[in-house]
Chains A and B, each alone.
Chain A
Amino acid sequence: MKIKNPTIKKILNKINWHYLVLSVFILVIFIAMSVQSKHFMTLANMEILINNFIMEAIMALGMTMVIISGGSDISISGILPFTAITFAYMMLGNVPVALAAVAAIIVGGLIGLINNELRRLLNIHPMIVTMATQLTLKGLNLAITGGSVVAGFSEDFQKIGGFKPLGLSLAIWAYIVLAVFYVLFSRNNRLFLNVYFVGGNKDAATLSGMNAERVLRFVYVASGLLAGLAGVLSTTVYNSASYSFGQNVEMKVITAVAIGGTSMTHGGEGSICGTLLGTLFMALIYNAFVMSGISTYYQDVFTGSMLVVAVLLSEGVRAIKAKSALQAEA
């Protein structure tokens, strides 16, 4: 069916179909779960729903920019436990909490910098470089801790995990601040906008005078910093640090970003708002499966299927837009 009315055509073109479909899915699951379980739509469960995916949500912000830049960063599942362990040992060494937290987050950023430099110097695909970093860090995490859980912090430190300004955990506050920052900056800040240009066509961006390497350095360092923050927050939440933290977290984070509409196949396409929706969807699925009593064995089946739907939708919308652009030009 061909729409001839230009007003309707304009409105339809303005709608982000990916967000719309994802929002409908989220709404349907919310309504279905509210009917199915009296415990679902409670303040306590909403807090748990958010808290239980908050580390992934924080890292998804950084991952979105990495994927938009045309790369990927799977080292986050090594950085998270590494910085958690670093922070934990500093706490046991009586380093002031704030100083230890900042230092551990910077360690995460430095690992991001190493990722980028290895990618640049060796000219290897970011996935391979970050996989190598991930494996190295996982080995280091085991070697440093001897496989033991790092715990035994002071009672004052243990209270930090339960500290909830205005009823929200520190991790949620950190996420709110970061999400607002990322949404605003990804729309207005030149450095953030340049990530799209570099991801779309790195050579063209370089030829136009842009420092593409500086942009890529920024996205990998930012991703490392956010994984470092997730590591520090994990230690405060669980009052311990373990090499086992964050297993397969990179897959969950990348899935949330992809479901949010950021293209895994074409750099330069995606958005932080989409990632916020994708993250909410993932958090909802994890919570809904436990709340509904449906076997969690099917959780990944559902998430995987949704990922396929999201990618198909994203590619479909892209193809339609490309076709419309061609028609407009003609």
Chain B
Amino acid sequence: MKKFLAMILAVTMVLSLAACGKSSEAATSGEKREEELYSMVVFTKGAEYFNWCYAGMQDAAESIGDFIKVELQGPAEWDASQEARAVETVLAKKPNGIVVSCADESTLIPSINKAIESGVPVICFDSDSSESNRLSYVGTNNNTFGAVAGKAIVDTIGTEGEIAIIMVPGAVSMEERAQGCIDYLKENAPNVTYTVLNDEGDVAKAEQVTSALLQSNPNIKAIFSTHGYGAPGAAAACRTLNMVGDITIIGSDYDSATIELLKSGDIAGTVIDDPYLLGYEAFMLSYAAAHPTDVLSGNAPFGHVPPLIFGSCSLLTGKVLEDPAAAARYENPPKIN
């Protein structure tokens, strides 16, 4: 709760700073403001999760004024080197700010640092590159995220049994989520043991590895996927093996497929953050960083931005979606060109 309040406070501060900048600049100049470009760079462009993020960025930009232009760039593949190239290409357009979700911690460091050196503020969101010179990170505390999944599992299967954790080894956010879940289990259900499955971030592969595991180990009671594609893959495996309802599947994030599987009961729950808000906040931070005030910031020559903002996370279940008002929030994903 404290973190949530801190986040709200930080966002309010940033919005206020941005609004102050806007009103003072608008007051002094009656003429049309010069166009500003802000770029969002992601990996797996086209993924519904990042469409939500970009929708947040678009709305945030619109709230400031029509002189703000935004764009979504990045490779369709989960390839950090291609994403680094996308950052560099975007940089050639001399944008006013870049917000980026990093495919891995290290590979984008040179590109992010190059942008900062050339005076373009970079804000990381969703997936960080903490060793780079990025100004701020807007994301989720992945340990807490994993703990929410751990609690959902214990609430369903009790304090004994075997579970599987689906992840892509090396992806820091997933490793943190897995660790958060493991830590929760160690503390609250030490008799629950776990197996780690690598699905390479692919739904078909998730189905394959889950099917193999469920056939070879009938003691598995629950599966936690640390990313968005794992739970639909595990649900497909359970359907093939006629095990729907026997295995508790807890996913991460949401997209249209996950929402349908939650409604049908194939997936018991999914831990969610708010991608729309992440995109919204990340843009606001980049705008604030691109508009320094008269008060010198710790990031000079950039504007005032906090180094870290953590959003909240919660468990979304089929029961929550029975409420049409709640369901409407998740059922209409934005379509991005």
Cβ of B123 within 8 Å of any chain A Cβ, yes or no, is no
Cβ of B255 within 8 Å of any chain A Cβ, yes or no, is no
**Given known contacts A148-B169, A239-B106, A244 and B89 CB-to-CB distance under 8 angstroms:** no
Contact assessment for B71 and A234 in the assembled complex, using a CB-CB cutoff below 8 Å: no
Near B by CB (< 8 A), chain A positions 163-219 give none
Contact assessment for B84 and A290 in the assembled complex, using a CB-CB cutoff below 8 Å: no
CB-CB under 8 A from A239, the residues of chain B are 106-107, 109-110
Size bracket, chain B contacts: 35 or more
The chain B residue sitting closest to A51, CB to CB, is: B88
Near B by CB (< 8 A), chain A positions 242-259 give 242-248
Q: What is the distance, in angstroms, from A273's C-beta to the closest C-beta of chain B?
A: 25
Cβ of B18 within 8 Å of any chain A Cβ, yes or no, is no
User: B92 is contacted by which of A148, A237, A240, A291 (Cβ under 8 Å)?
Assistant: A291
**Given known contacts A48-B92, A52-B89, A290-B89, A147 and B169 CB-to-CB distance under 8 angstroms:** yes
- Most chain B beta carbons < 10 A, residue from A142, A145, A239, A247: A247
Q: How many A-B residue pairs have CB under 8 A?
A: 105
Contact with A along B37-55 (1 / 0, CB 8 A): 0000000011000000000
Contact assessment for A237 and B171 in the assembled complex, using a CB-CB cutoff below 8 Å: no
Chain A binding surface SS class: loop
CB-CB under 8 A from A291, the residues of chain B are 89, 92-93
The chain A residue sitting closest to B105, CB to CB, is: A149
Q: How far is the CA of A42 from the CA of B109 in the complex (A)?
A: 24
Contact with B along A85-125 (1 / 0, CB 8 A): 00000000000000000000000000000000000000000
CB-CB under 8 A from A44, the residues of chain B are 92
Cβ of A39 within 8 Å of any chain B Cβ, yes or no, is yes
Contact assessment for B104 and A242 in the assembled complex, using a CB-CB cutoff below 8 Å: yes
Contact assessment for B94 and A39 in the assembled complex, using a CB-CB cutoff below 8 Å: yes
The chain B residue sitting closest to A39, CB to CB, is: B93
Contact assessment for A297 and B337 in the assembled complex, using a CB-CB cutoff below 8 Å: yes
Cβ of A287 within 8 Å of any chain B Cβ, yes or no, is yes
Q: How far is the CA of A151 from the CA of B130 in the complex (A)?
A: 14
Cβ of A293 within 8 Å of any chain B Cβ, yes or no, is yes
Q: How far is the CA of A234 from the CA of B45 in the complex (A)?
A: 22
Known A37-B93, A151-B106, A240-B109; further 7 A-B contacts with Cβ < 8 A: A147-B198, A149-B104, A240-B80, A242-B107, A247-B75, A291-B92, A296-B45
